[in-house]
Amino acid sequence: MNETHTQILGPGNSLLYTIPKGEIIIPPYWALCIQILSLQLLQRIWNRCRYKTWFTSVEVAMLYRKVHAEDHKPTFVANVAGIDIDIFDLFQSLWPLAHFIWYCILQAQCMTYLTASAWKCYNIFGYKIHNYIAANVVIGLSNAQMKHSLIRNLDYEKKTNTQKHYIAIIHKSVPYFYLVPILAWIPYGFTHILPMFILYIWMFILYIIGILISSVFFSVMFIKCPQSSKLVEFVKSKDFYASVCCSIGITSVPLFFAVLYNYSQYFYFGEHYIKSMTFEYQSRDTIVYLQTYKNSTQQIGHLILAIF
């Protein structure tokens, strides 16, 4: 009976078709590109307003190590001298935690759906984590850790006791907010991501090429910017490009892993190697995606949490 239902509902994990679309609809690839761009711009705009630099925290940390020991430091060093783990990092850590709790509540209903089983519900929960939560966790945690590495090298000792206390509280709190989603992800890393990574290793090569091309695009933008051009001339070109590559990689790698995970939802349920890719691509239908947002306020909430 379950097999019959699966055939009627569609290929792969049958719960992909029985759970309300407002919970699990995933964006088309063009929307993924917009999400990556939005995440990059959000970080850069905040750092521009807060620290007078267009660089992300990852880029700042990597470049600072290169210029800190030099006698003639560019204005870049002075601009980031006040960088710390601020309220933005705290805010960014609370979003994925709230999203994770929301999905945990929804997951309690999973076994009530048609054709549900423990294995299928386990897969669906991972589907939600990878497509909605993982990107924010990776980006937010990496930014906080990079800022922490800067705090140890900048003017932390010059801050007042109140400022030190404020920084200490946020620094101690932020990693713990990410801990629960990370612990929930670990089993999926072994059961889904690693096997799919091995099977689709050629996609990782294409992904790396895409990162390199994107990094060239962002690097050219920085070179054209008068405030950044002096820094580009100051550090070695390879160090500058490496920092941009790392920043874009951290932003996009969880989305790449989400695609690999989505393949498992077809491959693990009897579909062929190529068909798993085809069905995953078809699941990102633009019309269905836009109609779901039009008809589901719940999906709008997931989108807002996923972006921020």
Residue positions counted in the chain: 308
The DSSP line for 84-111 is ---HHHHHHHHHHHHHHHHHHHHHTTGG
The string of pLDDT tens digits covering residues 35-65 is 778 777 877 787 777 777 777 777 777 766 6
Arithmetic mean of pLDDT, 4-26 = 70
Going from the C-alpha of 181 to that of each of 98, 159, 244, the distances in angstroms are: 10, 33, 27
Answer yes or no: is pLDDT of 288 > 90: no
**Amino acid letter at 187?**
P
Answer yes or no: is pLDDT of 29 > 90: no
